[in-house]
Amino acid sequence: MIKYTLITLLCSISLLCSSATIDVRLVINSGSHSLTGGAFVAAKTYSVSNTFEDNSDIFIWNHDDIINLKVVNLDSEPHGLLIENHVNISSILSGDSVSQSFTLAEEGVFRYFDPLNSPFNEYLGLSGIVHVKSVLDTSSYFYWDIREIDSSWNELIILNTPPNLVDYDPDYFTINGVSSPDINMDVLARPTGIVGEEFKVILVNNGQSIHSMHFHGYHLTIATDSKRPSHVGRSKDTFPLYPREHLVLSCTPDKPGEYPVHDHNLVAVTGGQQYATGMFITMLIAE
């Protein structure tokens, strides 16, 4: 299943005035991504594990931390790594590795992805989320790496046959690599909150489709929008999310209950022609 790298607050209170140095070994693997109904598709992901994971890891770091990054390519093809505003490793040959140190000089949400064979390598799974927080930021965050899968695309890309975007017709829709109902088991994804206490949801579209995420029970406020900064401050219940766009949404619940969130392109709440096994998660709010 999904594995997350939560490298946060490692050195506790003493770090409030100083940065931490973090060693990260990031491995590029290929394997089979398990899908709804027992299906599998070929995929490639970044992970701190030596073995293939279904979804690329989510990294949560602190502002001003120093990252000693080593990227190891265990796949048979060359790959790179670009972390928006921070890292650009253009290519790593199969079996090779590249090391780079950098300081997290900018707070915010950043996509990381393979710039090679664009957009197909990142579509296959070589894309993820980096969240750089202020050390003083005590907000509760939840993370949604949103992507969809067209099984026929995966087959073609693995065979080095570039598919045509016009033919893109996904049949699986995932958050952090899994679909409903399994996504509710992911503590990093499933928003849980308490009435009166703010939490935030980070949505990153690492897929090729446009999504339209609808929240039941609540309007949320756009805190940041990477594609349309003029939308910050809008209070909405449905949020367009274009490919490569990321949003940070803020919610302060006023009532308890369990409230769904799903793509309102309702085809995306299916998977492998089954309803409701797609992009559908619930928020759980306690008194």
Partner 1 sequence: MRKTILYLIFSSSFSINAQIDYSKLVVGRTTGEQLMHDGAMVRTFGFAETLSEDIKVPGPTIEVTEGDSIEFDFWNVSQGAPHTIHLHGLDVNQENDGVPSLSFEVLHMEHGFYKFKAPHPGTYIYHCHVVSTIHVQAGMYGVIIVQPSNGNQNQVWNDGEIYARDLLWTSSEIDTNWHTLTVLDHNHSSNTPHYVPADYAPQYFMINGESETQLSQESGYYYTGQNEKVYMRLVNIGYYGVRYIFPSSLNATTIASDGRPLPSSFENDTIEVLPGERYGTMIETGTDILYPVVVEYFNLNNQVVESSQNVIIKTSPLGIETENITGLKVTPNPSGSGVFNINSDILVDYSIYSILGELIIQGNSSAIDLSDEPNGMYFLQTENSIQKLIKK
Interacting residue ranges for partner 1, rule: CB under 8 A:
148, 150, 165-171, 208-212, 214, 216-219, 230, 233-238, 240, 255-260, 263-267, 269-270, 273-277, 282
What does residue 283 show for φ and ψ, rounded to 5 degrees? Answer: -95, 140
> Cα separation of 142 and 168, whole Å?
29
Smallest separation, CB 235 to partner 1 (Å):
5
> Which C-beta is closer to partner 1: that of 102 or that of 275?
275
58 contact partners, CB below 8 Å, separation of at least 6: 4, 5, 128, 129, 130, 131, 143, 145, 176, 188
> Which C-beta is closer to partner 1: that of 52 or that of 144?
144
> Which residue stretches of the chain are H helix?
120-124, 151-158
Smallest separation, CB 229 to partner 1 (Å):
12
Smallest separation, CB 142 to partner 1 (Å):
19
> Which C-beta is closer to partner 1: that of 91 or that of 168?
168
Under a CB-based contact definition with an 8 Å cutoff, are residues 271 and 173 in contact? yes
Smallest separation, CB 134 to partner 1 (Å):
24
| CB half-sphere exposure, 263, CA atoms < 13 A | 29
> Which C-beta is closer to partner 1: that of 105 or that of 195?
195
> Which C-beta is closer to partner 1: that of 63 or that of 236?
236
Smallest separation, CB 37 to partner 1 (Å):
8
Smallest separation, CB 117 to partner 1 (Å):
19
Nearest to 121 by CA among 253, 210, 197, 29: 29
CA torsion angle 37 145 207 175 (round to 10):
20
Under a CB-based contact definition with an 8 Å cutoff, are residues 212 and 237 in contact? no
Grouping H, G, I as helix, E, B as strand and the rest as coil, residue 151 is: helix
> Which C-beta is closer to partner 1: that of 115 or that of 256?
256
